[in-house]
Every structure is written in C-alpha cells, then in structure tokens.
Amino acid sequence: MSASRVVLVDQVGDLESVAAPLSAQEGVSCEVHHQLPQGEQIVAVLVPPEVPVGAAELRGLPDLRVVAATSTGYDHLDLNAIASAGAWATHCPGYCDDEVADHTIAFALDLLRGVTLLDRSVHGGRWDVQEVPPRRIAGSVLGIAGLGRIGREVARRALALEMRVLGADPFVTAVPGVDLMALSELLPTVDVLTVHAPLTPETHHMIGAAQLAAMRSDAYLINCARAALIDRDALGAALRAGRLAGCALDVLDHEPPTGDEPELDWPRTLINPHAAWYSPQSACEPYRRAGEAVRAVLAGEEPQDALARPA
C-alpha cells in the first residue's frame, strides 16, 4: 500500500522539524517540492505565504486532509475552499513575534538616527551629518496601526525607549502605555508609522495616497507585515515628491524583486529580504508546529491553531 505523503512546499523549510512529530506514524513519508504537487496519497501540504491554496489547487489533491501554513499570516489560504474539500487548515501564530518586533524597532531607530542613509552618504563621497540629521529617540512619536500580538510587542519596546506610542486598531480598547485613537487622528502626529494589521479585504491598501498625504513630510513609514497593506504606487510617489522622509520595507509586492521593481529606485528607502521573522530560534518553529498539526490530524485529533475544519 502506498505511503501517505506529507509535502513541504518550501525550499528553505526545515523538513527534519516537520518529520520529527511524525516519526511514530507508520506509512507516512515527508518530502520537499518547489511547487505545490498534484496527485493521490498527498494527505498534507505545508505552505509558506508565497504558495496559495484555493479551489484550483485543491482539485488535484483528492486525499488531502490538512493544509498547514508555515507562517502567522494566512491570506494565501482559501479557508472556505479548504473546508469544503474536507480538510483542516492551520497556521503558526506567535512563533516570531519577538523577532518581528525587534526588527521593527531596529528599523525605527535606524531611520530616526539616519544610520543607513548616512552610511550611504559617506560611501558616496560626502561627509555631512545634516544630510540626514539624526533625531532623539526619547520623545519621538511612534504610531502603530494594528495592535495584535506583534503590535503590542513593538509598543512595549518603544515605551522602554521612552518614545510616545500611539495606536490605531478598531478591535482593541486598551493597551498599557499606548494612546489609542483613530488612524486618521494618529497620522499627522507621528514621527514613525509602522503597520502590523493582518491582510484582509478591509485592510488591503489601508495606507494609501490619502493616508500618506496626512502624514508630515519628515515622518517615516515601516512595513514588516504584508506588502499589500500599503499602496505601492502611492508610497513611491510620496517619496519621490519629498512628501515623506523615507521608509523601511521588509516585504515587497513581488519577492524576490526581479531587478526592475520600483522600490529599488525609491529615495531614502531601506529594504530587507523578508528577514524580520528570522532568528536561529524561530527558523525551525513553524515547521515543527506544522508537523505537529499534521500528526494531530492523522491521529484523528483536532490540530492546534486551526483556521478551518472539514465541512
């Protein structure tokens, strides 16, 4: 009898961490693929944010029992289609909260102190602190759009640095030390705005031309969440026109960039290769948890962090 196949569609993923919880399962094989495969005996697929799973993909997976996102975000999963196909869907909330919060604060400090932009200036043959005048961190105003787990961790770190923290989140009523207000009220006040909302139809392009126009011309923008939370064209136009002091992006609309992505030519822009989630500690955790979700489903149990259950 053919083995049940567990497929990790992630070339940088940790297959050993996936396989470890499944070691006691007989008749189960674990494998890695570049693309989502089709065929029988595939009982589980483990997918990062770049690999969508919807009705079209599910038609070729008749034996599928679970789709496990190896990420916190799950906007790449069609939960209704997965449930209708008789499968579970899971994700891995919280596995890299500290890393993303640390990265966000690192970006904020870098932008406010001008570290990278001044470094580029020196390497370009200039020696002028006024080219990007560093600012005092204590007393600077950080605005956080989205106060879930990561947004709250960012706030906690910023408060420790004696920054003033403003927050906007329609689903949150109180966060210690954070002044809550509507996003429209927050935007004109901040020195730095960072977005940490989940990507949904309601939050798509939540920062667009109108929101950017409401910000001060000496303010900075950070995105370590999802690229589509920000209108790329509007952000580029604001930077080129000098209506924004700069930005730091860990996520792009197209990853990796092909070389002609507009972000690569924007002024005063820091770009990292979707690195905010990473540390040696967090590198294996989402794969272990996805493997544990698969183990639970194959054992007839309800998996942890379920997003959808078989219809």
Summarised one tens digit per residue, pLDDT across range 227-269 is 999 999 999 999 999 999 999 999 999 999 988 899 999 999 9
Q: Enumerate domains of the chain plus CATH numbers.
A: 4-95+282-308 (3.40.50.720), 97-271 (3.40.50.720)
d(CA 117, CA 120): 5
d(CA 189, CA 50): 35
pTM comes to 0.89
Summarised one tens digit per residue, pLDDT across range 133-191 is 999 999 999 999 999 999 999 999 999 999 999 999 999 999 999 999 999 999 999 99
d(CA 257, CA 255): 5
Residue 2, pLDDT score: 65
Catalytic residues: 226, 255, 274
Rounded-to-10 torsion of CA 253, 134, 211, 144: 80
Summarised one tens digit per residue, pLDDT across range 93-147 is 999 999 999 999 999 999 999 999 999 999 999 999 999 999 999 999 999 999 9
Among left, alpha and beta (phi > 0; psi -120 to 50; other), residue 29 is beta
Contacts of 288 (CB under 8 A, 6+ apart): 14, 17, 18, 20, 21
At 40, phi and psi to the nearest 5? -80, 170
Contact 158, 136 (CB under 8 A): no
